[in-house]
Amino acid sequence: MSEEKSLNFIEEIIEEDLKSGKHSSITTRFPPEPNGYLHIGHAKSICLNFGLAKKYGGQTNLRFDDTNPTTEETEYVESIKDDIRWLGFAWSNELYASNYFEQLYGFAVTLIKKGLAYVDDSSSEEIAEQKGTPTVPGTRNRFADRTMEENLQLFADMRAGKFADGSKVLRARIDMASPNMLLRDPIIYRIKHAHHHRTGDNWCIYPMYDFAHGQSDAIEKITHSICTLEFIPHRDLYNWCIENLGIYPSRQYEFARLNLTYTIMSKRKLLQLVNEGHVNGWDDPRMSTISGMRRRGYTASAIREFCDRIGVAKRENLIDFSLLEFCVREDLNKIALRRMVVFDPLKVVITNYPEGEEWLASENNPEDPAAGHREIPFSRELYIEREDFMETPAKKYFRLAPGMMVRLKSAYIIKCEEVVKDVNGNITEVRCTYIPESKSGADTSGINVKGTLHWVSVAHAVTAEVRLYDRLFKVEDVANAEGDFKDHINEASLTVLPNAYAEPALLNDTADDRYQFIRKGYFSLDKDSTPGKLVFNRTVTLKDGWAKEVKKG
RNA sequence: UGCCCGAUAGUAUAAGGGUAGUACAACUGAUUUUGGUUCAGUAUGUCGUGGUUCGAAUCCAUGUCGGGCAACCA
């Protein structure tokens, strides 16, 4: 059976264009503004733009849309490049809208000469007023009557720095009565005496998005300029510029941006979280930034798979976070090394086990025999998870309880004989016996137990810091929730366990490794780790059928 | 009440006039030395109303609902 995947609407357009001969190959672009870090929403756009070019044998430019020097920085340029590379994509050309400032200036002069642009001295308030409303046409002011020569001179003077910020703008002359507000003589150049991260102080006038983006596309001969829905009304202006400038006819297509439950997808809000200290930087593992997710332990292939599964369409959407979690688990399950780590220890003493130790083999990954085995020390005193013992077991609980037997992973079956408590009645120790014939891999005991626990030998345990993350927001649809988005921050999104007990094999592992702490979740080494101190981030929990059972009651 | 975009299970996304399918989520069960994985199965859907047609999610009309548009942001 063929399992050809159906095409999304953009792929359909491209295939038609290729088939009809409109284009012989395609060129796309990813056009970030370097004013913040990339997030998972950008990943969707990156996968789309680069993925299309890859699929149809075209190319993709990385173009920084750097037309607003007051918000843009080189730091962001570097992080964006890092993130795209990490996601697994290679751009054909690294470009900047600021490369085209001279050309763009020329385009503006062309418009002036054609009588299609004029310098306006009005304040932004006046311009807004004259714009009218969606139902009331706007009006032109006296500046619109300036001669071509006057406009040319004034625009040159603007460039020469003769005017203060905000004192003049260049406007395209289109239609003050257009039902599309963007066509009511839009501002295309404004004065900003600001230092630009690439052009320095060469310019004090900068083009607006609408007078830079489409032209940049045209200059680069972008065949399919793909952007998000909010740019739909801009398309008329995009085309107007192309037609009146007579430049390469790039075409704009719009798709619905990604929204994810329990997260925000706005650079402005993300920046706020960073600046106000709600998180520890752009790469905080709780952030929906690419760098945050990377630090958290997400793999690039999981993110690509996610972007593939969510599809591309024009309707607004809010994707279940669980789909992202599914994609990471699916990937990590295949590659993560299994290790045993106890988060909240309860001591188990095996009363019939001799002094000393033995080393037991345990598979690194049951899904991948090629991953091999490691040796784990076993001894008389162990730690198990406190939640894996119940003095009076709940129904369907098949972990350790008085008189009950469980398997210790890769080791023996033990039976709980006695519970030791302190003066306050807190359980301090559980005393068990083990069944020597039940050794893992050589079990002749004939005993079947339902539960298998992870454990660590007390004498051999190494301590590690473990950071557990929960969702950053408490509501599903953060962007549309009542009140300020910060009202919905989950104060318990980070739990630090300073002293978890880990099997010693973890000491030898390296930063690139992914782990599954058995029965606990997927983890990866954090950059805060030092030779003397291991720090792990929980990428995602394991699916927890027991927790579900407990919740049902 | 101007213009533009959209509407298919809980969430996404297919079906392009001919059996409404897939994934995630949910629920059952089997397997399991991870209550993981894997496997098998169940339930839930075409926004309303007219029309065209032998036949409509699909075409037409109309209504409803949701979103966007009046930054010297992108």
What is the average per-residue pLDDT within A3-12?
A: 84
Percent of chain A with pLDDT over 90: 97
**Residues of A labelled as active-site residues:** 33, 257, 267
Q: Do residues A58 and A26 touch, judged by C-beta distance below 8 A?
A: yes
User: Looking at the C1' of nucleotide B68, which residue has the nearest alpha carbon?
Assistant: A230
pLDDT tens-digit map of A377-400: 999 999 999 999 999 999 999 999
pLDDT tens-digit map of A505-519: 999 877 678 999 999
Torsion of CA A47, A234, A232, A58, to 10 degrees: -30
Residues A247 and A278 in one domain: no
What is the average per-residue pLDDT within A33-46?
A: 98
What does the DSSP assignment read for A92-108?
SEEEEGGGGHHHHHHHH
Which stretches does DSSP call E strand in A219-364?
Answer: 224-228, 251-255, 337-339, 341-342, 345-350, 357-363
Residues A406 and A485 in one domain: no
User: Looking at the C1' of nucleotide B26, which residue has the nearest alpha carbon?
Assistant: A548
What does the DSSP assignment read for A122-153?
--HHHHHHHT-BTTB-----GGGG--HHHHHH
**pLDDT reading at A1 higher than 60:** no
End of a domain among A408, A434, A454?
A: A454
Number of domains in chain A: 3
Tokens of A484: 């300020």
For strand B, which nucleotides have at least one atom less than 7 Å from a protein CB?
1-8, 10-16, 23-28, 33-38, 66-74
Measure, in angstroms, how far nucleotide B4 C1' is from residue A138 CA.
Answer: 19
Any domain includes A1: no
Range(s) of the domain holding residue A416: 341-454
Measure, in angstroms, how far nucleotide B51 C1' is from residue A315 CA.
Answer: 27
Look at the alpha carbons of A520, A525, A529, A531 in this order and tell me if their dihedral is positive or negative: positive
Task: For tokens 């473990």, name the residue.
Answer: A466
Residues A450 and A470 in one domain: no
User: Looking at the C1' of nucleotide B2, which residue has the nearest alpha carbon?
Assistant: A135
Residues A424 and A496 in one domain: no
> Within 10 A of A114 (CB to CB), how many other CB atoms are there?
12
In this complex, the nucleotide whose C1' atom is nearest to the CA atom of residue A65 is: B74
Any domain includes A459: no
- b vs e for A202-219, b when ≥16 Cβ sit within 10 Å of the residue's Cβ? ebbbbbbbbbbbbbbbbb
**pLDDT reading at A4 higher than 70:** no
A258's CB contacts (< 8 A; 6+ apart) are A40, A41, A43, A44, A265, A310, A317, A319
Any domain includes A101: yes
pLDDT at A512: 75
Torsion of CA A322, A328, A329, A330, to 10 degrees: 110
What is the average per-residue pLDDT within A411-421?
A: 98
Residues in chain A: 553
CA atoms within 13 A on the CB side of A209: 8
Which of A10, A32, A27 lies closest to A209 in space, CA to CA? Answer: A32
End of a domain among A411, A436, A454?
A: A454
Any domain includes A17: no
Measure, in angstroms, how far nucleotide B43 C1' is from residue A504 CA.
Answer: 47
Which of A95, A92, A94, A97 lies closest to A27 in space, CA to CA? Answer: A92
Measure, in angstroms, how far nucleotide B73 C1' is from residue A2 CA.
Answer: 47
**pLDDT reading at A107 higher than 70:** yes
pLDDT at A214: 97
In this complex, the nucleotide whose C1' atom is nearest to the CA atom of residue A439 is: B33
Residues A227 and A88 in one domain: yes
Residues A377 and A442 in one domain: yes
What is the average per-residue pLDDT within A336-350?
A: 98
| Helix, strand, coil share (%) of chain A residues, nearest 5 | 35, 25, 40
Task: Tell me what ipTM this predicted complex has.
Answer: 0.97
Any domain includes A5: no
Confidence of residue A420 (pLDDT cuts 50, 70, 90): very high
Residues A79 and A132 in one domain: yes
The span from the CA of A290 to the CA of A39, in Å, is: 5
The span from the CA of A333 to the CA of A182, in Å, is: 50
Any domain includes A67: yes
Tokens of A52: 């299309």
User: Looking at the C1' of nucleotide B23, which residue has the nearest alpha carbon?
Assistant: A309
Task: Please state at what angle helix A300-310 crosses helix A321-335, rounded to 10 degrees.
Answer: 140
Residues A147 and A247 in one domain: yes
Confidence of residue A3 (pLDDT cuts 50, 70, 90): very low
The span from the CA of A285 to the CA of A527, in Å, is: 11
Any domain includes A76: yes
Beta strand A27-30 with A59-64 is: parallel
**pLDDT reading at A2 higher than 50:** no
The span from the CA of A449 to the CA of A400, in Å, is: 11
Residues A387 and A299 in one domain: no
What is the average per-residue pLDDT within A360-379?
A: 97
The span from the CA of A299 to the CA of A329, in Å, is: 10
Q: Do residues A32 and A78 touch, judged by C-beta distance below 8 A?
A: no
**pLDDT reading at A233 higher than 50:** yes
Q: End-to-end distance of chain A based on CA atoms, in angstroms?
A: 45
Residues A81 and A110 in one domain: yes
What is chain A's mean pLDDT, rounded?
96
Q: Which amino acid is at A276?
A: E
Residues A94 and A159 in one domain: yes
In this complex, the nucleotide whose C1' atom is nearest to the CA atom of residue A181 is: B70
Measure, in angstroms, how far nucleotide B42 C1' is from residue A458 CA.
Answer: 47
What does the DSSP assignment read for A479-502?
GGSSS-GGGGB-TTSEEEEEEEEE
User: Looking at the C1' of nucleotide B32, which residue has the nearest alpha carbon?
Assistant: A450
Q: Which amino acid is at A240?
A: W
Measure, in angstroms, how far nucleotide B64 C1' is from residue A178 CA.
Answer: 28
In this complex, the nucleotide whose C1' atom is nearest to the CA atom of residue A544 is: B35
Q: Which amino acid is at A69?
A: P
The span from the CA of A340 to the CA of A451, in Å, is: 16
Any domain includes A7: no
Tokens of A225: 């300029």
The span from the CA of A491 to the CA of A489, in Å, is: 6
pLDDT tens-digit map of A259-294: 999 999 999 999 999 999 999 999 999 999 999 999
In this complex, the nucleotide whose C1' atom is nearest to the CA atom of residue A547 is: B35
In this complex, the nucleotide whose C1' atom is nearest to the CA atom of residue A443 is: B33
What single DSSP character describes residue A478?
G
Least confident range of A176-180, A494-498, A507-511: A507-511
pLDDT at A75: 96
What is the average per-residue pLDDT within A71-84?
A: 97
Measure, in angstroms, how far nucleotide B5 C1' is from residue A177 CA.
Answer: 21
Provide the CA A228 distance to its chain's centre, in angstroms.
17
User: Looking at the C1' of nucleotide B7, which residue has the nearest alpha carbon?
Assistant: A315
The span from the CA of A269 to the CA of A288, in Å, is: 11
Which stretches does DSSP call E strand in A149-256?
Answer: 169-172, 187-191, 205-207, 224-228, 251-255
pLDDT tens-digit map of A196-212: 999 999 999 999 999 99
The reported pTM is 0.96
